[in-house]
Amino acid sequence: MNSIILTPINLDKPSTDNGKKAKIDYLREREHSSSFDLPIAKWDDSKYGKAEIGNYFGFVHQTRNIVEIFRIERIILAEHRPDYWDIPEHRSRNILIFSAKLGEVAWTTYKQNNNYSENFILRGTTKCRFEL
């Protein structure tokens, strides 16, 4: 079974300051990578730094029922984080560099295929199981 780092993104109505910052960072990465067609988008690793090259990464849009899927191509040490990434508790997290977007899957389908409860809600960046 493969692993995937999942992070929730709320583009509609982020309810926290960190959620609002994540929305801005997500939109910046999407624009910078030509809507994720270029293999240069980046994001934080999980809190526990468990990502590995070759794992997958997914932006989870729970309210839109979409998971955008990427492959992790490189990992850069936290000391090289962009200055505009300013969520204090994330400063020690490594940076994941992605492939171009591989595709999308419905969030409900992801949960069903990977034996998560229908009511499962992703609350932060975490490493999960991922059946292709």
- 3-state SS, 100-116, equals CCCEEECHHHHHHHCCC
Whether the full predicted model's pTM is greater than 0.95, yes or no, is no
Sign of the dihedral through C-alpha 10, 15, 19, 25: positive
Query: How much is the pLDDT for 15?
Result: 85
Q: In whole angstroms, what is the distance from residue 23 CA to residue 91 CA?
A: 17
Which positions ≥6 away from 70 have C-beta within 8 Å? 36, 41, 56, 57, 58, 98, 99, 100, 101, 102
Which positions ≥6 away from 6 have C-beta within 8 Å? 57, 58, 60, 67, 122, 125, 126, 127, 128
Query: How much is the pLDDT for 1?
Result: 66
Quick one: CATH architecture of 2-130? Roll (3.10)
Distance of CA 98 to the CA centre of its chain: 10
Q: What letter does residue 53 receive in the DSSP assignment?
A: T
Are residues 98 and 41 in contact, defined by beta-carbon separation less than 8 angstroms?
yes
If pLDDT is split at 50, 70 and 90, which confidence band does 90 have?
A: confident
If pLDDT is split at 50, 70 and 90, which confidence band does 112 have?
A: very high
**In this predicted model, what pLDDT tens digit does every residue of 37-78 receive, in sequence order?**
989 999 999 888 889 999 999 999 999 999 999 999 999 999
Closest residue by Cα to residue 110 from 88, 132, 91: 132
Q: What letter does residue 15 receive in the DSSP assignment?
A: -
If pLDDT is split at 50, 70 and 90, which confidence band does 132 have?
A: low
